């Protein structure tokens, strides 16, 4: 089975980083309230996803992105310009 790491953002600019074997299904779960961390904070929109990879590689990439804490490294990794820059 292959996985992708994804980054979603809500209307106030908050990010959520996760991994899934079916990103469309997972984003729908975020938007209907099935996820504890994103419930009531949507709607969520996909802004970035990785290439397909195995579970171990996907977990490593997910943790690496989360460690960036939305800093410059995070924006460089996903190729998104930082707001206000």
Q: How confident is the model at residue 74 (pLDDT cuts 50, 70, 90)?
A: confident
**Mean pLDDT along residues 60-77:** 86
Give me the half-sphere count of Cα atoms (radius 13 Å) on the Cβ side of residue 29: 13
**Mean pLDDT along residues 57-81:** 87
CA angle, 27 as apex, 23 and 32 as ends, to 5°?
Answer: 150
Instruction: With a cut of 80, say whether residue 7 has pLDDT above it.
Output: yes
Q: Which CATH number is 4-78 given?
A: 3.40.1440
Sequence spans of domains, the chain: 4-78
pLDDT tens for 24-67 read 999 999 999 998 999 999 999 999 999 999 999 999 999 999 99
Q: How confident is the model at residue 83 (pLDDT cuts 50, 70, 90)?
A: low
pTM, whole model, 2 decimals? 0.88
Instruction: With a cut of 70, say whether residue 84 has pLDDT above it.
Output: no
Residues counted in the chain? 85
Rounded-to-integer distance, Cα 16 and Cα 14, Å: 7
Neighbour-count burial for 35-55, b at 16+ CB within 10 Å, e otherwise: beebeeebebeeebebeebee
Cβ pair 3, 61 in contact under 8 A: no
């Amino acid at each position: 089975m292959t996985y992708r790491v994804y980054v979603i953002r809500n209307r106030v600019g908050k990010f959520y980083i996760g991994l899934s074997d079916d990103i469309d299904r997972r984003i729908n779960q975020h938007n209907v309230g099935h996820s504890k961390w994103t419930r009531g904070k949507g709607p969520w929109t996909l802004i970035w996803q990785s290439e397909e990879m195995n579970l171990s590689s996907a977990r490593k990439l997910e943790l690496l992105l989360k460690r960036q804490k939305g800093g410059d490294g995070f924006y460089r990794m996903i190729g998104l310009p930082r707001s206000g820059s």
